[in-house]
Amino acid sequence: MSHTAHIRSHRKPRRSASKIAMRAGVAGGVLSTLAVAGASAAANAAESETTQTLELPALTADLSAQVAQTAEATELAAADYQLQAERDAAAAKAAKQAAKDLAEAKKKAAEAAAKKKAEEAARKAAAERATRSAERTTLAASATADVSTNVSEATGSAAAVVSFVRAQVGDAYVSGGTGPSSWDCSGLVQAAFKQVGIDLPRVSQDQSTAGTQVSLDNLQPGDILYWGGAGSAYHVAVYVGDGMFVGAQNPSTGVVERPLSYDPPSGAVRVL
């Protein structure tokens, strides 16, 4: 026996057909698995690429929305600026108009004040002329008047005035009336003195300063009585003697003769 007979041969034993087939199957399965894995990886890569591609429109849409919002905000801001500008313009226009109106009002007020001042000056001048005229008439009448005029019986011009006003007792009172059958207070007094050639002012305010102021304790027939202030009287009548006066009082009474106690006057002037 050879000395190597007890040593196994180093030659690889033959593979059986079944083992070869099995290994081939295993190899095929591995290749199939690798093929599937490769296909899956490719699919995943494609899907990943598709996903990334699809995300781009989403980013673009967000950006468009932001741009639209920015544009809308810009438009609103512009509208606000325009509105504010319109308001500022309206306020400036209103202020300009207000200043113009104020200037016009001041101008009218100044004109009214000047007119009033002129009217007041004219009234005072007329009152002074009437006073001087009354004084001259009084001096002339005093030269011919009977000294008994201080009693109840009037004489001369005073008697004519008293006679005239008493003849109108019972006539109606009409505002602005100057006769012959209806009178207001100053219209009756003016007409009475016209009978003796004396032209008195038309209104009671002026008649209350048309002569010389006399005390109510020293009245004579023919004196003009007034109610209110001298120069601002609101009613006049004629003193007829014995503590009586005749005047066109009001629409209810008409022209009446009454005692001084009926309606005490404020003052009196004498033009005769």
Task: Give the mean pLDDT of 193-204.
Answer: 97
pLDDT exceeds cutoff 70 at 249: yes
Could you tell me if residue 264 is inside a domain? Answer: yes
Could you tell me if residue 163 is inside a domain? Answer: yes
Phi-psi label, residue 242: left if phi above 0, alpha if psi -120 to 50, beta otherwise: left
Structure-token pair, residue 23? 């290994």
Could you tell me if residue 202 is inside a domain? Answer: yes
Q: Which domain holds residue 215?
A: 121-270
Query: Domain of 166: which CATH number?
Result: 3.90.1720.10
Could you tell me if residue 132 is inside a domain? Answer: yes
With both helix axes pointing from N to C terminus, report the angle between 156-167 and 17-144 in degrees, rounded to the nearest 10: 130
Q: Please give the tally of structural domains in the chain.
A: 1
Could you tell me if residue 99 is inside a domain? Answer: no
Q: Indicate the pLDDT class of residue 113, thresholds 50, 70 and 90.
A: confident
Q: What single DSSP character describes residue 5?
A: T
pLDDT in tens, 39-95: 555 555 555 554 444 454 555 667 777 777 888 888 888 888 888 888 888 888 888
C-alpha to C-alpha distance for 214 and 224, rounded to whole angstroms: 10
Tell me which of 132 and 181 has the higher pLDDT: 181
C-alpha to C-alpha distance for 147 and 135, rounded to whole angstroms: 18
Percentage with pLDDT > 90 across the chain: 43
pLDDT exceeds cutoff 80 at 166: yes
pLDDT in tens, 126-164: 776 666 555 555 544 443 343 333 434 678 999 999 999
Could you tell me if residue 59 is inside a domain? Answer: no
